[in-house]
Homo-oligomer: A and B are copies of this chain.
Amino acid sequence: MAAEFDSDIFVNQTAPGEYDARLRPGWVVGGGVNGGYLLATIGNAIRHAVPAKPDPISISAYYLSASVPGPARVLTRVRREGGSVATVAADLLQGDEQRIAALATFGDLAGLPGDVATTAREPDLPDRERCVPNSMAPEDIRRIAPMMERFDMLFHPEQVGWAVGQPSGNGVISAWFRLKDGREPDPISLLAVVDLLPPVTFDLGRPGWAPTLELTAHVRAVPAPGWLKVRHATRNVAGGMFEEDCEVWDATGRLVAQSRQLARLPRRTTATAG
């Protein structure tokens, strides 16, 4: 039986390069369907379009309108396929509405050279039993964000003050992460993981939905099985927007994915979580 995540991102080919998908209500958060889940669904379609290049290396998504649960189509066009990588354009549509325009380069991560000279430092997370699980979220949050039932997220205890009205003001949130049914991480699921933490603006005392304008993710290695560590931060809140940099580290301590998104700041008057 397929893991929940794999059924949720399932795509069915209807013509060369064209795929049907079904966006699940379980991935709703705030005013729409989670952008990371949408990215993984698009990634899954691209993987089918260029089967010899199974892994996302880089993907850039421009979010044009909020997706809703229900049927969707992913249209892919191979722009260039070489010996080691393929670049593909992909659109996600619902009816006549364009939801996302994306570009991606896929390849074979397992075939890359084995050198690792990472100087970034792994998030300093306490043991899992000392972290604050998302299962403790209040009922009103869970109603607005049903996607929180799809995974275990164990927050750094010093970075969840925002949940009780005491944000740190640092603009950093980190957590342990795994998909709910023990489905192990892979390069496609990492495309979701980079956009699943609450917006980093929560930690700045700006709760509310923060719509993504653009998100680019680089997947740098096939993740090892086990819990992931996820951390995101912002350094430039200005002009009604902010950038959010996310890192995903695997159980062996390898930095397996990096992403950056540009999002709109939540309105000061908004009280919804997303």
Q: Which of A's residues lie within 8 Å of B, judged by CB?
A: 57-58, 60, 62, 64-65, 79-80, 85, 87, 89, 98, 101-103, 105, 109, 112-120, 171, 204, 213-214, 216, 218, 220-221, 234-241, 243, 254-255, 258, 260, 262
Known: A89-B101, A115-B240, A216-B216. A235 touches B58 (CB 8 A): no
Chain B min CB distance to A98 (Å)? 6
Contact (Cβ within 8 A) A262 B62: no
Contact residues in B for A262 (Cβ distance below 8 Å): 57-58, 218
Q: Are A101 and B120 in contact (CB under 8 A)?
A: no
Q: How far is the CA of A109 from the CA of B241 in the complex (A)?
A: 11
The copy count of this chain in the complex is 2
Q: How far is the CA of A204 from the CA of B119 in the complex (A)?
A: 11
B221 near A109 (CB under 8 angstroms)? no
Asked whether, in the complex, the Cβ of A235 is within 8 Å of the Cβ of B119, the reply is yes
Known: A60-B214, A112-B240. 15 other contacts (CB 8 A): A57-B213, A64-B80, A65-B80, A89-B89, A101-B103, A103-B103, A115-B239, A117-B204, A117-B238, A119-B171, A119-B234, A119-B237, A214-B218, A216-B216, A221-B239
Contact of A236 among B64, B216, B237, B255 (CB under 8 A): B255
State in angstroms the CA–CA spacing of A102 and B87 once bound together: 11
Contact of A220 among B105, B109, B236, B254 (CB under 8 A): B236
A-B contact pairs, 11 of them (CB 8 A): A60-B103, A62-B87, A85-B213, A102-B103, A114-B239, A117-B238, A118-B237, A119-B171, A120-B236, A220-B236, A258-B260
CA distance A79 to B75 in the complex (A): 14
Q: Are A87 and B101 in contact (CB under 8 A)?
A: yes
Q: A60-B216, A213-B57 in contact; A239/B80 too (CB < 8 A)?
A: no
